[in-house]
């Protein structure tokens, strides 16, 4: 199957997964809503805690708050405002850059379950619960997630840095956004496919080889997720819902593959 054929197949399977998911897993779609609210709340608490810690530490060392002079009060007020804005901007970029990956990692137990049940509905095959296998799968999933997150971050930052280098950067910069989108899509798509690979007890190396042979499919699934995530204001809210449709679509695609060829 060519890249374009595989890419088209990912779109077709995604469209097929929507009614399938609503028919079999509609109650699971409540999970992303609760998850998103919880994630925002935790990020707010973390950001506020770190801000107040560094703010108190800074002003205690400068000892500006103990003076009654209007000039020092004004300086204190301005510094607090600047520090507050810096922390807000910093946490916004951290949340925006990593939340798409964090969502996949934290939702992985639910996505793994949906993938397994999808295979059972399609093929009739079931997987009895085994504590040792379950722990082994969690360790494997964590290793792969950290590997992919590291590579994803490395390549994205590398492209950004290279785009600022004279001559080379001038050539690459017009395509840098497209390259970043493709890289992110590839690793996100990998995550959706790997729930099935993991269950079928493929090694990480075997999973990597299969994904490389199916780049069109992988990028197609990941691109849907990432483009939804990039929608201004509502993307980070909608993207978690997409994960359930995409893991169903990815499971359907894996059932068509010849994994041990």
Write the pLDDT tens digit of every residue in 123-133.
Answer: 888 887 777 77
Q: What is the pTM of this model?
A: 0.79
Q: Is residue 62 very low, low, confident or very high in pLDDT (cuts 50, 70, 90)? A: low
What is the predicted pLDDT for the residue at 74? 72
What is the predicted pLDDT for the residue at 253? 93
Give the 3-state secondary structure percentages of the chain, helix then strand then coil, rounded to 5.
Answer: 85, 0, 15
Q: Is residue 41 very low, low, confident or very high in pLDDT (cuts 50, 70, 90)? A: confident
For the segment 27-35, the average pLDDT, to the nearest whole number, is: 79
Q: Is residue 244 very low, low, confident or very high in pLDDT (cuts 50, 70, 90)? A: very high
What is the predicted pLDDT for the residue at 35? 73
The single residue listed with the structure tokens 């990593």 is 98
Q: Please, what's the b/e burial string for 168-178 (b: 16 or more CB within 10 A of its CB; e: otherwise)?
A: eeeeeeeebee
User: d(Cα 50, Cα 231) in Å, to the nearest integer?
Assistant: 28
Mean pLDDT score of the chain: 82
User: d(Cα 244, Cα 248) in Å, to the nearest integer?
Assistant: 6
What is the predicted pLDDT for the residue at 203? 87
The CA–CA distances, whole Å, from 69 to 56, 60, 66, 203 equal: 19, 17, 9, 67
For the segment 95-122, the average pLDDT, to the nearest whole number, is: 82
How is residue 255 annotated by DSSP? T
Highest-confidence range of 33-47, 56-70, 72-86, 162-176, by mean pLDDT? Answer: 162-176
């Amino acid at each position: 199957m060519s890249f374009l054929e595989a890419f088209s197949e990912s779109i077709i399977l995604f469209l097929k997964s929507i009614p399938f998911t609503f028919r079999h897993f509609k109650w699971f779609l409540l999970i992303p809503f609760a998850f998103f609210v919880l994630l925002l709340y935790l990020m707010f608490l973390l950001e506020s805690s770190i801000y107040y810690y560094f703010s108190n530490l800074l002003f205690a060392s400068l000892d500006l708050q103990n003076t009654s002079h209007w000039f020092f009060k004004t300086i204190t007020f301005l510094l607090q405002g600047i520090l507050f804005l810096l922390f807000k901007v910093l946490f916004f970029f951290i949340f925006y850059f990593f939340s798409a990956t964090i969502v996949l990692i934290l939702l992985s137990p639910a996505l793994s379950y949906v993938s397994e049940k999808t295979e059972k509905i399609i093929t009739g095959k079931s997987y009895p619960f085994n504590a040792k296998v379950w722990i082994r799968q969690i360790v494997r999933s964590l290793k792969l997630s950290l590997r992919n997150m590291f590579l994803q971050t490395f390549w994205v930052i590398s492209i950004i840095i290279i785009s600022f280098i004279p001559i080379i950067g001038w050539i690459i910069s017009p395509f840098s956004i497209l390259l970043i989108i493709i890289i992110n899509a590839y690793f996100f798509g990998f995550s959706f496919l790997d729930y099935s690979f993991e269950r079928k007890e493929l090694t990480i190396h075997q999973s990597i080889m299969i994904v490389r042979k199916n780049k069109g499919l992988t990028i197609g699934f990941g691109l849907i997720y990432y483009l939804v995530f990039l929608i201004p204001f509502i993307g980070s809210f909608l993207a978690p819902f997409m994960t359930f449709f995409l893991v169903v679509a990815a499971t359907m695609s894996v059932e068509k593959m010849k994994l041990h060829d």
